[in-house]
Structure formats: structure tokens, C-alpha cells
């Protein structure tokens, strides 16, 4: 496994990754997806023999806030350490950032994963989250 910068946006491989996990919001809006990648703070890919297994995309200023916008691993490679390796790389890269945040599905699988790398639910630290879509 190698974690490295995802430099050149390749729409076909990224769309296929989103589709593999059922995230249609982006696959239904390919132009928005390309622009989102271009404006991201950081995008890292997880590779196995030059094959893109997954990626993590962060947005923010890198100092006061880093928001983990997307973290995707091909289903057949999940629970093999790829997600954790990518998230750890982002946390190390932006370790001085005041806040690192993310929103995720409320499933036992995702809650357990993010707790295992040190994230807490916002209500556990005296905060409340708001969102408008």
C-alpha cells in the first residue's frame, strides 16, 4: 500500500470509486465533482501496484480547520487498513490545525472507525453541528 498525492483528476476512476460505494450525489454532477477536486485543500490516494484503491479529500484552510469531505475505499478493500492509513496521513499533515471535522453516516461501522482514530461526536465535546443542504 502506498499513500500519495492524487495529482491529476481522472474523472472515470473517481466516478467509478464513488459509484462503488453508492454515492450518487457526485456521480450525478460530474462537473461539480471535477471543480470540487480542483479546489480541495488536499487529495491523497491509496494505491496498490498503481491501482487506485481509495482516496481522501480534505477542504479548509489547513490551519484553523480541516474538513474531511470524502474518504472512499473500494468495498473489496475495506477493513484492510487503507482508510485508516489515508486518514492518518491527513491528520499528520495537518496536525497543527485547530479543528479537524467530518460528517458521516450514523452506523456502527463508521462510528467505530472514526472513534478508533481519535474522533469524537460533537455532543461529547460540548458542541452542536448545523447543516444546510
* Other CB atoms within 10 Å distance of the CB of residue 109: 11
Residue 59 lies in a domain: yes
The answer to whether residue 107 is domain-embedded is: yes
Question: Which residues on neighbouring strands pair with residue 1, listed in sequence order?
Answer: none
Does residue 133 lie in a domain region?
no
Give the CATH number of the domain where residue 83 resides: 3.40.630.30
pLDDT of residue 39: 95
Q: Which of 56, 128, 50, 123 is nearest to 85 (CA)?
A: 56
Q: From the CB of residue 27, how many other CB atoms can be counted at a distance below 10 Å?
A: 15
Quick check: is 119 in a domain?
A: yes
Domain that holds residue 67: 2-125
Mean per-residue pLDDT pooled into runs of 10, the chain (133 residues): 93 92 85 92 95 96 96 94 96 96 90 92 90 86
Domain count for the chain, please give it.
1
118 in a structural domain: yes
* CB count in 10 Å sphere of residue 55: 23
What DSSP designation does 75 have? G
Amino acid at each position: 500500500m502506498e499513500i500519495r498525492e492524487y495529482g491529476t483528476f481522472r474523472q472515470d476512476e473517481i466516478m467509478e470509486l464513488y459509484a462503488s460505494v453508492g454515492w450518487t450525489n457526485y456521480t450525478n454532477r460530474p462537473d461539480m465533482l471535477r471543480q470540487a477536486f480542483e479546489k480541495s485543500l488536499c487529495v491523497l490516494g491509496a494505491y496498490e501496484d498503481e491501482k487506485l484503491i481509495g482516496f481522501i479529500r480534505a477542504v479548509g484552510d489547513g490551519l484553523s480547520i480541516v474538513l474531511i469531505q470524502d474518504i472512499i475505499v473500494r468495498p473489496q478493500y475495506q477493513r484492510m487498513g487503507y482508510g485508516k492509513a489515508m486518514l492518518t496521513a491527513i491528520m499528520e499533515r495537518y496536525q497543527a490545525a485547530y479543528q479537524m471535522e467530518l460528517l458521516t453516516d450514523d452506523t456502527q461501522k463508521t462510528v467505530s472507525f472514526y472513534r478508533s482514530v481519535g474522533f469524537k461526536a460533537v455532543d461529547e465535546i460540548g458542541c452542536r453541528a448545523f447543516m444546510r443542504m
